[in-house]
Amino acid sequence: MSRPPRAVLFDLDGTLVDSAPDLCNAVNRVVVDLGHAPVPLARLREVVSKGGRAMLAAALPQLSDDERAPLLAPFLAHYAQALAVDSLVFEGVSDLLAGLESRGLRWGIVTNKPEALARGVVEGFGWSQRSAVLIGGDTLPRHKPDPDQLLLACDQMGLAPSDVIYVGDDLRDVQAARAAGMVSVAALWGYREPHDDPATWGADHGFANARDLLSAPGLLPP
């Protein structure tokens, strides 16, 4: 980045918010309705960033993709009823967001979660007035790893992509940032499956705690 960034965009699940508990609760309502035993949170946590279909696949591996497809709608309906009940912000996130604001930087959210659900989470954490922009997975026809969402966020903020950093915990986040021409940061504190190796993602930076972004040399203005 040739000049200091003017904004930071974030993925939501696995980056800002540990939403796995509420998502697991919603999955288990579907699972129990089918007559199966509830699934442990640990089984679902590592696939949260991959979306609802991946969570249902982890919870119900004995079903085929076609058999699981009709379960996505009830899962989302259950989740919509309890978006920010047991979810928590990750360690260091509150300090990071406050630090960005104190340095005059705007921040926003670009997620593959459906926009209405994402707005519910953002409202639940009191971020509606603080987040400069919110782009969901259904805001546009294409979503991450395509760059369209990130480019729309820049357009809405009136910024060039080169003035923006994108932070996310999944390979698709890094791919989208690179395609958009942004500096990419891998959120190493987020959700990953055992075979995922962030070192191979090609991110410009990677941090184990959100707070570390504030002190990374040359990344943010002082």
Query: In the chain, which residues have pLDDT < 70?
Result: 1-2
Task: Tell me, yes or no, if 11 is annotated catalytic.
Answer: yes
168 CB-side CA count, 13 A: 31
CA distance 176 to 181: 9
CA distance 146 to 150: 9
pLDDT of the residue at 19: 95
Q: What is the CA radius of gyration of the chain?
A: 17
In terms of C-beta density within 10 A (0-12 exposed, 13-18 middle, 19 or more buried), how is residue 136 classed? buried
pLDDT of the residue at 49: 81
* 213, 96 contact by CB (below 8 A): yes
pLDDT of the residue at 44: 92
Strand partners, 184: 166
159 CB-side CA count, 13 A: 24
pLDDT of the residue at 50: 85
